[in-house]
C-alpha cells in the first residue's frame, strides 16, 4: 500500500475545531516534500455537514467515522474506533492537533497500536529522506529534532499555532462514510456537560494596555508594583498561571491557553518566562515589552522590546518615567 | 484509598542550562527540583488520604540524585517510597518510562495512581495516560478537582480557554493532575525527621528490563531555538532603561 498521511480532525458537540485546519496545513506541507497524499478522518455521529468543510481542502479523501457511541467524546470509544480505522488504512503518518482532547486519548491510541507518539511538535524537517519533528524542550529554552524509530504508522501532534489554518490549500475531496467499530463494554468514563465558571467581572480582551506579572514578582505584596505601572499606563493587571494558582489574582485575569486570550496595543510582561501556554494567550499583542532577569528567557523571542534586568529596579523607574512623559 | 504518586525530578526552573557534548540533552551539573504538577499530585493524594484513610506511596525513576524528590515527599507525609534507581531510566521515552513504573507498581493494586499532567523538561504529557493503558485502567487528564463518590470518583477536568467538565470514573484509575488543584503544604520539622525512618524500596534496572522494549523515538539533536522576531534589547542602569523604554512606547509604538 502507498504511504499516506492521515489527519485526525476534531469536532466537539457538532462543531469543527478550527485547529484541525492547522493540522491539515501542516500535513499538506509535509506532503509536498514526501509525496505522501493527505487523508482526513473525523469521528463522531451525525457529522456529515462538518465533513463538507474538510472536503473543501486539497486532500485526497475525507472519512467520516460514525457511531452513536462517538456522539460525546470518551477516550475509550475514540481509542477503540480509531485503532481499528488506522489498522485498516495503515497510513505512514497520523497527525493530530495538540488539543486537550487529543492529549487525553492519543498516547493510549499509540500504545494500543504498539507505536509511538511525538507530542506537541512545532514543526517538521525532511532531511535526506528522513522525517524529523521539532519540539520545544525545557519550557521553550531549547528545541529538539525528534525522529521515529521503527515502522509506521507514526503518530505526532502539532502545537496550536504551529501552522496557519487559513493557509490550508483549498480543493475538493470525496467523502467516505465509515461505520466505526464499537466495543462491547460501555465507556468507563462518564462525561457531563462542558461549562464555564460564573460570569467574569473584567473583560481583558477589551483592554488596550495590559501589565502582566509572572512568578518573578515573588510575593503577593509586590503586585503593587505592577498595579502602579498599570495605573500610569491606563491599563489592567493580568498574570501568568502560577500567580492565579496561588490565588494572588483571580482566574479571570489569567492569560494563556487555559485562561484569556488578549491582543492589546501594549502588553508588558514582568517576570514571565514565556512558556508556550502563556504565549498563545498574548502573542497577538501589537507591542510586547518584556522585563526579565534571564537573557535566555523565551519571552524575549516574541518581545518587541526586551529589558534584561531586575524588575524590582526597573519597574518603579519605568512607572516614574511614564508618569513624567504623560504629564509633559 | 491506596494511592501511588509519580514524581519526576527535573532541572530547577531558574537554573542556567547548557547542552551536553553530544547535543542530545543538557549537562547534568545543574540543580534539580520536583516537577511542579507532581507536587500538586502529591498534595492531592495526601489530602485524599487525610479524608478517607489509606496509604500514599511515591515513586520516581531516575539516577541516585532523584532520591531527593522521594525524601521530600516522605517529609510531607507520604508513607513509603519506591525508587527505580539507575542512570539509564532517564533515557527511556514516555512509553518505556510508563512500562518501568507499571512493572514496579503492578502487584501493589493501587486504587488510584496520580501523575503530573506533563514534565517541565521533556514535556511529552503522556506518561500517565500510557500507564493507564499498560495497566488496563481507565484514566482522566488535566484534573483540577477530585471528590470520592460511592462508585468511584467525581472529577473536575480543565478544558481550553476557561472551560471545565465534570466526569465520573470508577476506581482503580489513573489521573493526570494540573497545577493549582490545591494549595501546597510545606514539610514540617517532625516530618523531615520521620522521613528518615520511612521505607524506601529500590528497584534495579535488571528487575524491570524484561518489561521494556526499544525506544520508538529518538532525540537527534537539541539546540537553542532560532529567534523569529527582531527584539530591541535594552540593558543598563534602571533609570536609563526606563527612559529608553518610555521613548520607545511614545515614539515607535505610540501607545502613550
Ligand atoms: C529519546 C529520548 C531520550 C531522552 N534522553 C534523556 C536524557 O538523556 N536525560 C534525561 O534526563 N531525560 C531524557 N529523556 C527524557 C525522558 O526521561 C522523559 O522524561 C520520559 O520520556 C518521560 O516523559 P516526560 O518527561 O515527557 O514525561 P510526561 O509524560 O510529560 O510526564 C507526565 C508525568 O509522568 C510522571 N513521570 C514522568 N517521568 C517520570 C519519572 N522518570 N519518574 C516518575 N514519574 C515520572 C510525572 O508525574 C510527570 O508529571 C529522553 C527522552 C527521549 C524520548
Ligand atoms: C495544560 C497547561 C495549561 C496551561 N495554561 C497556562 C495559562 O493559561 N497561562 C499561563 O501563564 N501558563 C499556563 N500554563 C503553565 C505554563 O506552562 C508555565 O508554567 C507558566 O506560564 C509559567 O509562569 P511564569 O512565567 O510566571 O513562571 P516561571 O516560568 O517560573 O518564570 C518566572 C520568570 O521570572 C523571571 N524572574 C525571576 N525573578 C526576576 C526578577 N527579579 N526580575 C525580572 N525577572 C525575574 C525568571 O527569569 C523567569 O523567567 C499551562 C500549563 C499547562 C501544562
Of B123, B130, B241, the CB nearest to A107: B130
What pLDDT shows up at residue B103? 97
Cell numbers 531527593: residue: B68
Q: Domain range spanning residue B138? A: 2-211
Q: Evaluate whether A5-179 and A204-327 have a shared fold.
A: yes
Nearest residue CA, atom 51 of ligand 2? A277
- Estimate the share of chain A in helix, then strand, then coil, as percent rounded to the nearest 5: 35, 30, 35
Contact status, residue A158 vs residue A102, Cβ threshold 8 Å: no
The ranges assigned to domains in chain A are: 5-179, 204-327
Percent of chain A with pLDDT over 90: 90
Chain A residues with beta carbon closer than 8 angstroms to that of B26: 138, 142
Those of residues 12-71 in B touching chain A at CB distance below 8 A are 13-14, 16-17, 19, 26
Provide the 10 A C-beta neighbour count for residue A133: 26
In the predicted model, is pLDDT for residue A302 greater than 70? yes
Contact status, residue B149 vs residue B157, Cβ threshold 8 Å: no
Measured between alpha carbons, how far is B241 from A116 in angstroms, rounded to an integer? Answer: 49
Of A145, A147, A322, the CB nearest to B246: A322
Identify the CATH number of the domain in which residue B104 sits: 3.40.50.620
Alpha carbon separation from A176 to A64, A66, A87, A95, A201 (Å, rounded): 6, 11, 17, 19, 47
Instruction: Label the pairing between strands A287-292 and A266-270.
Output: parallel
Residue of chain B minimizing CA distance to A309: B235
Q: How far is the CA of A299 from the centre of ligand 2 (A)?
A: 10
Is B193 within a domain?
yes
Is B110 within a domain?
yes
Nearest C-alpha of chain B: how many angstroms from A289?
A: 8
What pLDDT shows up at residue A104? 98
Measured between alpha carbons, how far is B233 from B228 in angstroms, rounded to an integer? Answer: 14
B217 lines ligand 1 (CB under 6 A): yes
- Nearest CA among A128, A130, A188, A182 for reference residue A154: A130
Tallying the residues shown for chain A, one arrives at 328
Element (H, E) at A41: strand A38-44
Q: What is the Cβ-side half-sphere exposure of residue B172, based on CA atoms within 13 angstroms?
A: 18
pLDDT digits (tens, 9 = 90+) for B75-95: 999 999 999 999 999 999 999
Widest pairwise Cα distance in chain A: 75
What pLDDT shows up at residue A328? 79
Number of domains in chain B: 1
- Nearest CA among A236, A323, A226 for reference residue A272: A226
Instruction: Label the pairing between strands A266-270 and B153-158.
Output: unpaired
| Ligand 1 mutation target, pool B6, B8, B93, B181, most atoms within 8 A of CB | B8
Contact status, residue B245 vs residue A289, Cβ threshold 8 Å: yes
pLDDT digits (tens, 9 = 90+) for B94-129: 999 999 999 999 889 999 999 999 999 999 999 999
Is B28 within a domain?
yes
Is B250 within a domain?
no
- Report the top-level CATH class of A5-179: alpha beta
Query: Cβ contact (<8 Å) for A138 and B217?
Result: no
What pLDDT shows up at residue A199? 66
Q: What's the complex ipTM?
A: 0.94
Is B235 within a domain?
no
Look up the pTM and report it.
0.94
Those of residues 201-240 in B touching chain A at CB distance below 8 A are 214-225, 227-229, 231-235, 238-239
What pLDDT shows up at residue A87? 97
pLDDT digits (tens, 9 = 90+) for B15-34: 889 999 989 999 999 999 99
**Cell triple for B221:** 539533536
Measured between alpha carbons, how far is A287 from A303 in angstroms, rounded to an integer? Answer: 8
Ligand located closest to B30 CA: 1
Q: Which fold has domain A204-327?
A: Rossmann fold (3.40.50)
Residue of chain A minimizing CA distance to B158: A258
What pLDDT shows up at residue B106? 87
Amino acid at each position: 500500500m502507498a504511504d499516506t498521511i492521515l489527519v485526525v480532525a476534531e469536532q466537539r458537540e457538532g462543531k469543527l475545531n478550527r485547529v484541525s485546519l492547522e493540522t491539515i496545513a501542516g500535513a499538506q506541507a509535509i506532503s509536498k516534500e514526501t509525496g505522501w497524499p493527505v487523508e482526513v478522518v473525523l469521528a463522531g455521529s451525525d457529522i456529515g455537514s462538518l465533513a463538507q468543510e474538510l472536503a473543501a481542502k486539497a486532500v485526497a479523501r475525507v472519512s467520516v467515522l460514525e457511531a452513536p457511541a462517538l456522539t460525546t467524546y470518551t477516550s475509550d470509544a475514540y481509542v477503540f474506533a480509531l485503532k481499528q480505522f488506522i489498522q485498516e488504512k495503515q497510513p505512514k503518518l497520523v497527525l493530530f492537533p495538540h488539543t486537550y482532547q487529543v492529549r487525553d486519548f492519543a498516547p493510549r491510541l499509540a500504545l494500543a497500536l504498539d507505536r509511538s507518539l511525538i507530542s506537541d511538535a512545532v514543526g517538521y524537517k525532511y532531511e535526506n529522506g528522513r522525517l524529523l519533528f521539532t519540539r520545544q524542550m525545557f519550557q521553550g529554552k531549547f528545541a529538539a529534532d525528534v525522529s521515529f524509530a521503527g515502522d509506521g504508522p507514526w503518530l505526532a501532534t502539532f502545537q496550536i499555532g504551529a501552522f496557519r489554518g487559513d493557509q490550508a490549500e483549498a480543493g475538493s475531496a470525496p467523502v467516505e462514510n465509515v461505520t466505526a467499530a464499537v466495543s462491547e463494554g460501555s465507556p468507563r468514563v462518564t462525561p457531563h456537560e462542558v461549562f464555564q465558571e460564573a460570569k467574569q467581572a473584567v473583560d481583558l480582551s477589551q483592554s488596550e494596555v495590559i501589565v502582566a506579572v509572572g512568578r518573578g514578582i515573588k510575593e503577593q505584596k509586590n503586585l503593587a508594583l505592577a498595579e502602579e505601572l498599570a495605573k500610569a499606563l491606563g491599563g489592567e493587571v493580568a498574570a501568568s498561571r502560577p500567580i492565579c494558582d496561588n490565588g494572588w489574582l483571580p482566574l479571570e485575569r489569567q492569560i494563556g491557553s487555559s485562561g484569556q486570550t488578549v491582543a492589546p496595543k501594549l502588553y508588558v510582561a514582568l517576570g514571565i518566562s514565556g512558556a508556550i501556554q502563556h504565549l498563545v494567550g498574548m502573542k497577538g499583542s501589537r507591542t510586547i515589552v518584556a522585563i526579565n532577569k534571564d537573557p535566555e528567557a523565551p519571552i524575549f523571542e516574541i518581545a518587541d522590546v526586551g529589558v534584561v534586568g531586575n524588575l524590582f529596579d526597573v519597574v518603579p523607574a519605568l512607572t516614574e518615567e511614564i508618569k513624567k512623559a504623560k504629564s509633559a | 484509598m491506596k494511592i501511588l504518586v509519580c514524581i519526576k525530578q527535573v532541572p530547577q526552573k531558574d537554573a542556567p542550562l547548557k547542552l551536553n557534548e553530544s547535543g542530545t540533552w543538557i549537562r547534568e551539573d545543574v540543580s534539580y527540583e520536583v516537577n511542579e504538577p507532581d507536587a500538586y499530585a502529591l498534595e492531592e493524594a495526601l489530602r485524599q488520604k487525610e479524608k478517607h484513610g489509606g496509604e500514599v506511596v511515591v515513586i520516581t525513576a531516575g539516577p541516585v540524585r532523584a532520591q531527593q524528590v522521594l525524601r521530600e515527599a516522605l517529609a510531607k507525609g507520604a508513607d513509603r517510597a519506591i525508587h527505580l534507581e539507575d542512570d539509564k531510566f532517564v533515557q527511556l521515552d514516555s512509553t518505556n518510562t510508563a512500562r518501568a513504573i507499571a512493572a514496579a507498581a503492578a502487584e501493589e493494586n493501587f486504587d488510584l495512581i496520580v501523575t503530573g499532567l506533563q514534565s517541565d523538561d521533556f514535556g511529552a504529557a503522556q506518561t500517565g495516560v500510557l500507564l493507564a493503558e499498560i495497566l488496563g485502567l481507565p484514566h482522566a487528564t488535566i484534573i483540577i478537582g477530585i471528590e470520592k463518590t460511592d462508585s468511584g470518583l467525581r472529577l473536575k477536568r480543565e478544558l481550553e480557554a476557561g472551560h471545565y467538565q465534570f466526569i465520573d470514573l470508577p476506581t482503580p484509575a489513573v489521573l493526570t493532575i494540573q497545577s493549582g488543584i490545591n494549595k501546597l503544604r510545606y514539610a514540617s520539622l517532625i516530618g523531615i525527621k520521620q522521613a528518615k525512618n520511612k521505607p524506601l524500596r529500590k528497584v534495579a534496572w535488571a528487575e524491570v528490563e524484561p518489561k521494556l522494549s526499544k525506544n520508538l523515538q529518538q532525540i537527534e539533536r537539541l539546540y537553542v531555538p532560532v529567534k523569529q522576531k527582531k527584539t530591541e534589547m535594552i540593558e543598563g542602569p534602571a533609570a536609563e532603561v526606563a527612559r529608553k523604554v518610555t521613548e520607545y512606547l511614545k515614539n515607535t509604538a505610540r501607545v502613550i
